A and B are shown apart, each in its own frame.
Chain A
């Protein structure tokens, strides 16, 4: 009997074959905690009676949502975090290096086949390198810090096959937005998404990351890609036989199979106020906008900034539009400086910020007010996420977002 990708990861982790529906205890390879939840994790950990971390090297603490502090009380989170790191002998801490999900793969904390949990719903991102990763709450995180284990129900899998060549103005973001629109915001709840086909094989790891990042927006537990040579290069590992075998078998049991032709995709937006409210950019053309945000753990990578720069080169942002660009990490920030991308963006009139979660979670510069519209490359357009509850958020690819910034209204790139 064939196995799905998630069933293989679980088997390799526990040493016992498991199928969808089984409840198993996994051994955790790495965990990530971010600044918003560290005070809660720390107090639960001590309330549970633990006195040491199961393995300090497997724990990563990242300050990103609150960096730099924008409200008086934010600094308390850094103080609690710093004290926790000191007390329990942790080494893996990032205080101003970028967004947690970018850093977990970029800094080499996650490898193919790993089992990883984080105190953030977009922890599904690491599926881009063939790791099983998912978001949990701070109480469960505290229990992992003490025990190194967590119970999971092995999910059923929805297989998504995509074949062919994408049109020029279409990015991985358009694929995942369309897929979420087709599945619905709860269409993959409790399930794994498994991506395959030559379109995803030809994608960069960065593009795969945009898709695994948003798996949660269809409710999925994880969004998985098979590791290949690109993954190996990105993760700086030699692929072992076990890693090479991390792909869904022909005769595996899938609860649903979805087939797409890459040529059929067009630029799309997720319209207010749900991520599954997917419409073609064409059908929205002419909608006036006030702001554009290019950044986040979904689309703040070098290829995203370069794609935006290509559209913006030699042009100017519309006079009444604010274009905010937030690189996902310090490394990306530096690369974009060195290869000239930043200059193109700046010349076009972009406001370029420090690497962080920034506007995506509505915590720093760029908050909007009643009646305003923003085109944004992040992953959520929920009511009230970027300011008042009367703001309209349209999610789109970096190419679409850049084209909208120039036009001052929604247009195709």
Chain B
């Protein structure tokens, strides 16, 4: 079982895709170009503060709004290891899996954490924080297959005989 620890950034309910990356930056050429503007309508300084291996803990309905796949891509590009939320919007959920960004649904952790706290994630089992353990479940097999292949692009490359 995979285990990792990291410091957390705490966001509220209904963090929508226009907050994650506003439409005006979507025509920039690369995700790297867009990255500095992540979360800018809500917290313009946040993109500069997030470091490799950090974790986002949010309330319900994270990623609601548009189908823009840049949203999970940017979060991944910022170095975020995983997003833990009370719930996720469905398009964001699919897009994250397809891009290999780990999402974890957990409905009570958010009520007990403060920003910059450190947590430990035991993938598919539990989250540890301040000596408390919060249970988490595992993803269905068809989604694990995509993640294990390294995302949907790699799964399709395999299908087309480009990769072993």
Measuring CB to CB, which residues of chain A are less than 8 angstroms from any residue of chain B? 23, 36-37, 40, 44, 47-50, 65-66, 71, 73-74, 76-77, 118-121, 123, 134-140, 142-143, 146-147, 151, 185-186, 189-190, 219, 221, 274, 361-363, 380, 382-385, 389
A-B contact number at CB 8 A: 129
Measuring CB to CB, which residues of chain B are less than 8 angstroms from any residue of chain A? 14, 16, 18-19, 22-24, 26-29, 40-42, 60-61, 64-69, 87-91, 94-95, 98-99, 140, 142, 151-153, 156-157, 159-162
Structural contact, A380 and B18, CB atoms closer than 8 A? yes
Structural contact, B90 and A219, CB atoms closer than 8 A? yes
**Nearest-neighbor residue (CB-CB) of A190 within chain B:** B90
CB distance from B62 to the nearest CB of A (A): 9
Structural contact, A40 and B69, CB atoms closer than 8 A? yes
A1 to B30, CA, bound (A): 50
Structural contact, A382 and B18, CB atoms closer than 8 A? yes
Structural contact, B66 and A389, CB atoms closer than 8 A? no
Residues of B with C-beta under 8 A to A274: 14
A127 to B66, CA, bound (A): 18
B28 interface neighbour in A23, A73, A151, Cβ under 8 Å: A73
Residues of B with C-beta under 8 A to A74: 27
Residues of A with C-beta under 8 A to B67: 37, 118-121, 123, 135-137
A146 to B162, CA, bound (A): 14
Interface SS of chain B: helix, strand, loop or mixed?
A: loop
Known A119-B67, A137-B69, A382-B65; judge A36-B157 contact (CB<8 A).
Answer: no
Structural contact, A71 and B61, CB atoms closer than 8 A? no
Structural contact, A382 and B16, CB atoms closer than 8 A? yes
Residues of B with C-beta under 8 A to A186: 14, 60-61, 64, 87, 89
Structural contact, A363 and B41, CB atoms closer than 8 A? no
Q: Which 3 A-B pairs have the closest CB atoms?
A: A49-B160, A384-B41, A137-B69
Interface SS of chain A: helix, strand, loop or mixed?
A: loop
B156 interface neighbour in A40, A120, A146, A185, Cβ under 8 Å: A146
Structural contact, A50 and B142, CB atoms closer than 8 A? no
Known A138-B69, A384-B19; judge A73-B27 contact (CB<8 A).
Answer: yes
7 contacts between A and B (CB under 8 A): A37-B67, A44-B153, A48-B156, A186-B64, A361-B23, A380-B18, A383-B16
Structural contact, A121 and B91, CB atoms closer than 8 A? yes
**Nearest-neighbor residue (CB-CB) of B24 within chain A:** A362
**Nearest-neighbor residue (CB-CB) of A383 within chain B:** B41
CB distance from B83 to the nearest CB of A (A): 15
Known A361-B23, A385-B23; judge A185-B153 contact (CB<8 A).
Answer: no
